[in-house]
Chains A and B, each alone.
Chain A
Amino acid sequence: MIRKVWLLPWIGWLVSLPAIAAWDVNMRPGSTAIAREVYDLHMIIFWICVAIGVVVFGVMFWSIIHHRKSRGAEARNFHENTAVEILWTLIPFAILIAMAVPATATLIKMYDNTDAEIDIQVTGYQWKWRYQYLGEDIDFFSSLATSREQINNEAPKGEHYLLEVDNPLVLPVGKKVRFLFTANDVIHSWWVPDLSVKKDAIPGFINESWAIPEEPGIYRGQCTELCGRDHGFMPIVVDVRPQAEFDQWLADTRSAAAAQKASATQEWTLAQLMERGEQVYNTSCAACHQANGQGIPGAFPALAGSPMVTGDIGAHIDIVLHGKAGTAMQAFGAQLNAVDLAAVITYERNAWGNDTGDSVSPQRITELQQ
């Protein structure tokens, strides 16, 4: 009985296998044909590695135990064995080639960007993504939707903590979508494991990749190139819909953009601008200037009590529209629409005790943008 003690750890390991599977440490099988191929390659190569490990360690431990000193083993002193050395060079070479052949076949497929039915330009910004459906007149930003309270441990964390956005990338099911990646400021990287797409987004370069989503559903990903302070706060959400729903979404998004344009010519009250401005501020500005307007000393200036924000309105509008070259303050004139810009500037001029009473109209912004 006592001799079977060595079995115990193995039994423990076998019993815990289902728990390990549920722990989700393995690569995800993905939801496109390419993703499944990548997953299969990963599993084949994994099992090849397991087999090599078993053989190598098996021979090693058998030799150590079989030729142990207590059985009177004598070390043989020799310097080299050319035949064995050639063998242990050729065998790994053959194994590597055997793994490279199917891997290259998959890579070639992954690089075949031809015959796409939809082209989407994906641009990385500090710290959000911009999606432009080329030829479709659709262009929007996608920012983190998790509230600052959850991030600061002031509220319980939701199910999709840091993996939720305001405007997901919407794709139709079963169509080949080509992505063109670039970036506005620093290098980012767009990664959605389920689609098996992971590409660097580099300023001044365009990288390509593609996917054919097969199942409607929500797929989540993240920026995977360290890109500054909020690198972990620019997730990706892909919303795959049946063709009819996708067409409906296209139409809705276009008319919402038109309504947006129209609302820039309406009259907005101070209260309306403040309400809208707070939302815009929290998604677009609070990452740096903080929700309480205090900024981060040494990095991002406080807007509460700032001489510019409480003083010259023209300079305030100018820095928000055009940014400040060489600093993290971006040109928001190209990122936000006239109403959002007017609202956020109005909000800054009246929140946190700034109480200037100023309100900036969307019309004023529209004129400056022309």
Chain B
Amino acid sequence: MPDPKKNGLLTAVLSALAAMFGVQSDRNRQKDFSSGSPLRYLLTGVLMAALFVVGVILLVRLALMLAGA
């Protein structure tokens, strides 16, 4: 595992993904909770939720385009 201090963004993204999926290992959870400010996790979470919504919209657009509507 990379050092959370060095590779903060990647861990935050992975943790947000784990949260969206609903499963996270206890080891990672302990690490996240001891890595200082929660703000980074909150912001990443909100950003990824927005990305998810945009992704769904694009997927529907694509499906409609392929269906010729």
Contact = CB atoms under 8 A, between A and B. Distances in A.
Q: Do A and B come from one complex?
A: yes
Interface of A: 79-80, 82, 85-86, 89
Contacts of B21: 86, 89
Interface of B: 21-26
A85 B23 contact: yes
Q: State the main secondary structure of chain A at its contact with B.
A: helix
A257 B57 CA distance: 52
Contacts of A85: 23
A79 B30 CA distance: 13
Enumerate the 6 nearest inter-chain pairs by beta-carbon distance, A residue then B residue, closest first. A85-B23, A82-B25, A86-B23, A80-B26, A89-B23, A89-B22
Q: State the main secondary structure of chain B at its contact with A.
A: loop
Nearest to B22: A89
Nearest to A88: B23
12 contacts: A79-B26, A80-B25, A80-B26, A82-B23, A82-B24, A82-B25, A85-B23, A86-B21, A86-B23, A89-B21, A89-B22, A89-B23
Contacts of A79: 26
Contacts of A80: 25-26
A79 B25 CA distance: 10
Nearest to A82: B25
Contacts of B25: 80, 82
A258 B24 CA distance: 75
Given A82-B25, A86-B21, 10 more contacts: A79-B26, A80-B25, A80-B26, A82-B23, A82-B24, A85-B23, A86-B23, A89-B21, A89-B22, A89-B23
A85 B25 CA distance: 9
Contacts of A86: 21, 23
Contacts of B26: 79-80
Nearest to A80: B26
Nearest to B67: A108
A86 B21 CA distance: 9
Contacts of B23: 82, 85-86, 89
A140 B24 CA distance: 63
B64 to A, nearest CB: 12
Nearest to B24: A82
A85 B23 CA distance: 7
Contacts of A89: 21-23
Nearest to A86: B23
Contacts of B24: 82
B22 to A, nearest CB: 6
A85 B28 CA distance: 15
B23 to A, nearest CB: 4
